[in-house]
Amino acid sequence: MRKYWFCTLISVFFSLLSHSQFTKESEAFLNAKIDSLKKVVPGLNGKAKVDCLNTIVDQYQIMDEDNQMQIDSAGPYARQAYNNAIKIGYKRGLGYAYLKLSYINILWGQIHIDDAKYSVNFTDSLNSIEQQLNKGIKISTEINDLTMMGSAYALLGWVERLKGNKGQQITHLKKAISYIERQAIQPKNDYNEMNYSNCSECSGQEFRLAELYSWL
């Protein structure tokens, strides 16, 4: 237990430090990366195009500005990734597209949770997001992608937070951490979800794990 709390505190510290450095130094890096990817994507086809579209959404998710503009900016790319993955039968791209669409819908729900105009069907909307995430979990099981599995459970934890189910939220977060930590080897020359590549010495998972531990 002592080791667990020590690791948690270290992770929270890293998350806060990373966020501080992000707000000061990395927003320009991410915006430049988004602009570069947007220029590249029209010339791509097949799996490469789906991966690029999902990567664009990733950059907005890493910034996580928590506002309507972010949703409006990322949404079209998430829908394109989904539609293109369906069209070409790209299972891995489709799984991550489910996660990207779910993230956008969850963020939209969080922004409007106290708005009576939008909260009438709020529970139904969350149930619909859960179904979408479960499709992502099914695909992650079929292709043995532990990062996809962990990301899905992280988003399910967010859904449970919006529902007010703290116990279930914690359960999902623990699963998310477990799966992402087990994905020790990242695929080369392939789509790596949420890979914060402004760190030459990182495996790509540190930023995500620090964030998940801080949520936990």
SS3 assignment for 112-125: CCCCCCCCCCHHHH
Q: Predicted confidence band at 11 (pLDDT cuts at 50, 70, 90)?
A: very low
What residues does each domain of the chain span?
Answer: 2-215
Residue of 27 and 175 predicted with greater confidence: 175
Supply angle C-alpha 122, 213, 98, rounded to 5: 45
The pLDDT, as a whole number, for residue 119 is 62
pLDDT tens column, 83-96: 999 999 999 999 99
Q: Predicted confidence band at 127 (pLDDT cuts at 50, 70, 90)?
A: confident
The pLDDT, as a whole number, for residue 66 is 67
Supply angle C-alpha 202, 169, 124, rounded to 5: 115
Residue 3 has pLDDT above 50, yes or no: no
The span from the CA of 37 to the CA of 77, in Å, is 11
Residue 2 has pLDDT above 90, yes or no: no
Residue of 115 and 83 predicted with greater confidence: 83
Residue 46 has pLDDT above 50, yes or no: yes
The pLDDT, as a whole number, for residue 198 is 63
The pLDDT, as a whole number, for residue 154 is 96
Residue 4 has pLDDT above 90, yes or no: no
Q: SS in 3 state form for the chain?
A: CHHHHHHHHHHHHHHHHHHHHHHHHHHHHHHHHHHHHHHHHHHCCHHHHHHHHHHHHHHHHHHCCCCHHHHHHHHHHHHHHHHHHHHHCCHHHHHHHHHHHHHHHHHHHHHCCCCCCCCCCHHHHHHHHHHHHHHHHHHHHHHCCHHHHHHHHHHHHHHHHHHCCHHHHHHHHHHHHHHHHHCCCCCCCCCCCCCCCCCCCCCCCHHHHHHHHHHC
The encoded tokens of residue 25 equal: 């130094």
Mean pLDDT of 139-163: 94
Q: Predicted confidence band at 64 (pLDDT cuts at 50, 70, 90)?
A: confident
Q: Does domain 2-215 have CATH number 1.10.3470?
A: no
Mean pLDDT of 121-145: 90
The pLDDT, as a whole number, for residue 199 is 65
The pLDDT, as a whole number, for residue 176 is 95
The span from the CA of 160 to the CA of 172, in Å, is 9
Count Cβ atoms below 10 Å from residue 195 Cβ, excluding itself: 19
Residue 65 has pLDDT above 70, yes or no: no
Mean pLDDT of 158-184: 91
Among 29-33, 63-67, 136-140, 168-172, whose mean pLDDT is lowest? 63-67
The span from the CA of 66 to the CA of 157, in Å, is 17
Q: Predicted confidence band at 43 (pLDDT cuts at 50, 70, 90)?
A: very high
Residue 151 has pLDDT above 60, yes or no: yes
